[in-house]
C-alpha cells in the first residue's frame, strides 16, 4: 500500500466532518495568534514612540526583544498560512486527478508538517514576546502608579 492511498477512515462521514472542524479550528488559531501578535507589536511601537515614557535600560531591552519575538511570530503565522494553502491546493488536485503531486519539492504530508512546526514555533515566540512585553509595560508603568504624589 502506497503512502498516498486513502485510508479506510475517509469513507466514514463522521471522520470527514471532524477533519473539517479540525481544519477550521487550526485556521482560527492561526488568525488569532497573528492578530494578537500584530496588536501587541503595535502597542509596543506606540510605547517606543511616546516621548514621555523613558524606554532605556532593562525596559528598552525587554521591549525591543518582545518586538523582535512578536515580529517573528507574525512571520511564522504567514509561513503557516502559505504552507496550509499549498497543502489544500495539492489535496484538492489529488482528489480531482487521483495523482501524487508536489509543490516546491514537498508533498501534502510534508507541507502539513511545516504548517504545524511553524504554528508551534509562532506560539512559543508569541508567548515569549508577550511575557517580555508585559514585563516592559510593568517596568514602564509601575513607577508612575506607585510614585504619584
Query: 73 and 40 in contact (C-beta within 8 Å)?
Result: no
Query: 47-78, pLDDT tens digit by residue?
Result: 888 776 677 788 888 888 999 999 999 999 99
* Region 95-118 average pLDDT: 79
3-state secondary structure of 103: strand
Average pLDDT over residues 83-100: 76
Beta bridge partners of 103: 106
Please state whether the predicted TM-score (pTM) of the whole model is above 0.85.
Answer: no
Report which of 39, 58, 41 is spatially closest to residue 142, judged by C-alpha positions.
58
Q: pLDDT, tens digit, for every residue of 6-38?
A: 555 556 777 667 767 777 888 899 999 999 999
Most confident stretch, 20-24, 83-87, 95-99, 145-149? 83-87
Question: Could you tell me how many helices (H) and strands (E) the chain has, helices first?
Answer: 3, 0
Amino acid at each position: 500500500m502506497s503512502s498516498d492511498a486513502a485510508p479506510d477512515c475517509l469513507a466514514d462521514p463522521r471522520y470527514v466532518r471532524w477533519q473539517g472542524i479540525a481544519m477550521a479550528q487550526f485556521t482560527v488559531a492561526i488568525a488569532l495568534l497573528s492578530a494578537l501578535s500584530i496588536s501587541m507589536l503595535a502597542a509596543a511601537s506606540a510605547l517606543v514612540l511616546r516621548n514621555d515614557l523613558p524606554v532605556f535600560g532593562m525596559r528598552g531591552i525587554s521591549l525591543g526583544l518582545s518586538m523582535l519575538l512578536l515580529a517573528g511570530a507574525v512571520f511564522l503565522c504567514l509561513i503557516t498560512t502559505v504552507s496550509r494553502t499549498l497543502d489544500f491546493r495539492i489535496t484538492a488536485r489529488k482528489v480531482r486527478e487521483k495523482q501524487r503531486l508536489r509543490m516546491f519539492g514537498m508533498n501534502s504530508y510534508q507541507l502539513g508538517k511545516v504548517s504545524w512546526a511553524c504554528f508551534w514555533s509562532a506560539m512559543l515566540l508569541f508567548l515569549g514576546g508577550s511575557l517580555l512585553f508585559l514585563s516592559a509595560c510593568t517596568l514602564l508603568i509601575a513607577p508612575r502608579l506607585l510614585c504619584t504624589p
